[in-house]
Amino acid sequence: MTPAALSAALATGVERLAAWADLLDAINVYPVADGDTGRNLVVSLAPLRRPAPEGGPGSRARELLMAARGNSGNIAGRFFAAFLAPDPAGGLAEPAARGAAEARAAVRHPQPGTMLTVFDRLPELLGRAGPLGPAAVEGLLQELAATVRGGVACLPRLARAGVVDAGALGMYVLFEGLLRQLAGRLEDCRPPTETFAGLLAVHSDFQEAIPREYCIDAVVRATAGDDRLEAFLGEAHSLVTARGDGLLKIHLHTRDAQGAKARLAAAGPLVAWEADDLADQVRAFAHPPAGGGVHLVTDAAASLGRNDRQRTGITLLDSYVTAGTLSRPETRWDPQAVYAALRRGERVTTSQASDYERRETYCRLTAQHGQVLYLCVGSAYTGNYRLARDWQANRGRPEGFHVLDTGAASGRLAVIALATAAVVAQGADLAGALAAARRAMQASDELIFLDRLKWLAAGGRISRPQAFLGDAIGLRPVVTPRPEGVARVGAVRRRRDQLGLALARLGASLDPGDRALVLLQYTDNEAWVRETAAPEVARRHPAAEVRLQRLSLTTGVHTGPGTWAIAWLAPS
């Protein structure tokens, strides 16, 4: 097995994991029912999706260390770091054994039935399997699936919920993709909904107390043996730690986030810090959005976020944003960090998920839902529509998977999706949902106001001389997404002129008494949009529902900091 073959198989495994991440989140009850195992694993293992960096294994190990999020992501990152410098003449059993030991050592209180049990079993199974042909892989996966199922009896919380451990399932999903690719039979992968039937729905009577804690992920440049740091870690719980390149990565749960931050900073410079409120996540997990007869899907290129997803049940399909060495699904980024990087002049790019990841996602959607309506970003902007239609025609279930080219992106795609979700929530069938989406496509519009042209030049949308000239004379372009592509509709010099143009266009489309939906979108300028633009829109259109929303991060990377937008849907 060559390093290149293993690298490609790892990437395939991570892409398959990303496609099924929503299922992992839906059954994530251990150690806390906070519904984030899938997204944490996707973020944590994203470095494995890309070719090895020029710095070699050490550079990739640092990327994994910095990317790791949550219990699951930090543990998995330790395991897969052992696969970064394989012996070309060797197999997978030896790095799996090293990885299992590293993962177990990172956890203060390892538990059976979790991904650690999967990692412990893998070296034995890989060593016994011999050459990884299709038959050997099939037998290995059957035993690995039995290990995952056996976890239900190991942890009372899993037994009460009636589900397998989300992290263990995630590792099974990843390794099925990895191993079947190495065997040359990736098409033999089976939906986990078949392999683990009956163990993927949380019992309706399962309850979780609301924790008053924060989930912390931090990286500190600290010296081993620091007494203050060791004393602090000795008090922590849900602790996972790892060291590398002079850095200490720490995951823990605490009631005092700011106190934890201060104590870590006292031990050495904080390189990275992220804190999530577990109470918010547990509440969201306990109240999933109500399902309907039609499950709606759209691209995260729409200006919708996780709160919208929780409220409406719409599935968002991510593109990836890469800033520096970190690559994440666009909805998994802190947008302010991305805009700050752009303002510092750092290279930030976007990319589509691989064809395989997108096709596997369609497979997951049809396995979980009876009728799926995909409100696709306009075909002029990405190849998503073509790929989904090809999958539908060649490998999908045409009776259960339906794709509509909306011709829209960003805020206009968002209002189309929200209007469709509203009729689905009222019990509309597929025909009714399609009719509502098409009405919204006709009744919606959007203006996007850029602050500087240089961001378009950085992404290759216009030439650098054009951008320099436009910025030098103070022109701020105004564009609108159309089915045929982005159209430039004007340019102004000042922000108040942008607002004047927005109000004029809005007034031409809506009467003051219209009960319309207006979406105001911001990048790193939320305060101005909230305090200046929103009151003016509300004053002139008092009957309209005016919502503030982050501009889709994909759009924001291309248009740059300072951009804002207005999208609206006229009443039918």
Instruction: Determine, yes or no, domain membership for 119.
Output: yes
Alpha carbon distance 272, 277 (integer Å): 17
Ranges assigned E (strand) in 450-526: 476-482, 485-492, 517-522
Instruction: Determine, yes or no, domain membership for 200.
Output: no
The total of other beta-carbon atoms located within 10 Å of residue 225's CB is 7
Alpha carbon distance 170, 186 (integer Å): 17
* Whether residue 29 is found in the same domain as residue 162: yes
Which secondary-structure segment (H or E) carries 297? strand 295-299
Residue environment code for 267-299, b if the CB has 16+ CB neighbours within 10 A, otherwise e:
bbebbeeeebebeebbebbeeeeeebebbbbbb
* Whether residue 298 is found in the same domain as residue 260: no
Residue environment code for 21-36, b if the CB has 16+ CB neighbours within 10 A, otherwise e:
bbbbbbbbbbbbbbbb
Instruction: Determine, yes or no, domain membership for 402.
Output: yes
pLDDT score of 228 = 79
* Whether residue 434 is found in the same domain as residue 454: no
pLDDT score of 452 = 84
Amino acid type, 208: E
Alpha carbon distance 269, 291 (integer Å): 46
- 3-state SS track over 256-273: CHHHHHHHHHHHCCEEEE
* Whether residue 332 is found in the same domain as residue 465: no
* Overall residue count recorded for the chain in this entry: 572
Q: Angle of helix 3-19 relative to helix 166-182, nearest 10 degrees?
A: 140
* Whether residue 464 is found in the same domain as residue 538: yes
Residue with token string 């991570």 = 14
Distances (CA, A) of 541 to 25, 499, 570: 40, 14, 12
Distances (CA, A) of 86 to 4, 64, 132: 10, 16, 16
SS3 498: helix
pLDDT score of 306 = 78
Domain boundary among 234, 257, 279: 279
Domain total in the chain: 4
| CATH code, 558 | 3.30.1180.10
Yes or no: say if 378 and 487 are a contact pair by the CB < 8 Å rule: no
Instruction: Determine, yes or no, domain membership for 207.
Output: no
Which secondary-structure segment (H or E) carries 295? strand 295-299
- 145-173 pLDDT, tens digit per residue, is 999 999 999 999 999 999 999 999 999 99
Instruction: Determine, yes or no, domain membership for 201.
Output: no
SS3 492: strand
CA 170 to chain centre: 15
Alpha carbon distance 355, 378 (integer Å): 17
* Whether residue 413 is found in the same domain as residue 479: no
| CATH code, 219 | 3.30.70
* Whether residue 422 is found in the same domain as residue 499: no
Yes or no: say if 518 and 548 are a contact pair by the CB < 8 Å rule: no
- 319-344 pLDDT, tens digit per residue, is 999 998 888 999 999 999 999 999 99
Task: Indicate the pTM of the whole model.
Answer: 0.92
* Whether residue 133 is found in the same domain as residue 58: yes
pLDDT score of 53 = 62
* Whether residue 406 is found in the same domain as residue 471: no
Q: How many helices (H) and strands (E) does the chain have?
A: 26, 17
Instruction: Determine, yes or no, domain membership for 480.
Output: yes
* Whether residue 314 is found in the same domain as residue 268: no
Alpha carbon distance 144, 139 (integer Å): 9
The DSSP secondary-structure symbol of 163 reads B
Residues of the chain with pLDDT under 50: 460-473
* Whether residue 363 is found in the same domain as residue 459: no
Yes or no: say if 447 and 489 are a contact pair by the CB < 8 Å rule: yes
Which secondary-structure segment (H or E) carries 44? helix 37-45
Residue 139 belongs to what domain range? 3-195
The total of other beta-carbon atoms located within 10 Å of residue 336's CB is 13
The token pair at 328 is: 């994440």
Alpha carbon distance 210, 282 (integer Å): 6
The total of other beta-carbon atoms located within 10 Å of residue 8's CB is 15
SS3 448: strand
Alpha carbon distance 72, 38 (integer Å): 9
pLDDT score of 450 = 94
Q: Which residues pair with 549 in a beta bridge?
A: 521
Yes or no: say if 82 and 98 are a contact pair by the CB < 8 Å rule: yes
pLDDT score of 297 = 97
The total of other beta-carbon atoms located within 10 Å of residue 501's CB is 18
CA dihedral (149, 150, 151, 157) in degrees, to 10, reads 90
* Whether residue 115 is found in the same domain as residue 184: yes
pLDDT score of 468 = 41
